[in-house]
Amino acid sequence: MGLVLTRNELREVIRAEKDFHKTIVTTNGCFDILHVGHVRYLKQARQLGDVLIVGVNTDASVKRLKGEKRPLNNEQDRAEILASLECVDFVTLFSEDTPVEFLKIVQPNFHAKGGDYDPKDLAETPVVESFGGQIKIIDLVPEKSTTGLIAKIDKSNC
């Protein structure tokens, strides 16, 4: 079970983990409604190394990226839920639209992204590669997405 950290706490944790030569893995996202696709994805990301750190978009950045109706769950709830997963070691919030600043702090060995992304299109690719890290693409569970779940709820008139 992981911890939710501020950026300053994250800096301290990273320093300690790297002193122990741990392989650091990061991923990021909104994680608005946690579903089985997220859980499977995070488990696979964790298998890439010793420590998994999840960067979570703040409420303000989710609104900018997904629209005014999102997020459905606030940032503290989303972070706490993610931190409760066995495969997640640490969670931190970031307010920017991309995880670039988060990645500059962590400098992971691997940064995991879902199979719906192409590394050449990611703002984080040059940053991760600049300190010797690699982008790893993880296959997603078909038809399991937050957007799909919201659409399904809307259609069911719940």
Domains of the chain by range and CATH? 3-156 (3.40.50.620)
Q: Give first-to-last CA distance, the chain, whole Å.
A: 33
DSSP secondary structure string for all residues of 73-92 = S-HHHHHHHHHTSTT--EEE
Residue 149 has a pLDDT of: 56
- How far is 132 from 59, CA to CA, in rounded Å? 31
pLDDT of residue 151: 59
* Positive or negative: CA dihedral 149, 155, 156, 158: positive
Tell me the sheet residues that pair with 90.
Answer: 3, 53
Query: What is the C-alpha to C-alpha distance for residues 99 and 84, in angstroms, rounded to an integer?
Result: 22
Q: What pLDDT digit, counting tens, does each position of 106-156 carry?
A: 999 999 999 888 999 999 999 999 999 999 999 876 665 555 555 566 667
| pLDDT at residue number 64 | 97
- pLDDT single digits (tens) 5-28: 999 999 999 999 999 999 999 999
Alpha carbons 140 and 108: distance in angstroms, whole number: 21
> By 3-state DSSP, what share of the chain in percent is helix, strand and coil, each rounded to 5?
45, 20, 35
Distance CA 97, CA 127 (A): 15
Burial-class residue 29 by CB neighbours within 10 Å (0-12, 13-18, 19+): buried
Percent of the residues in the chain that have a pLDDT greater than 70, as a whole number: 88
Share of the chain above pLDDT 90, in %: 80
Q: How far apart are alpha carbons 2 and 58 in whole angstroms?
A: 18
Say how many C-beta atoms besides its own lie within 10 A of residue 147's C-beta.
11
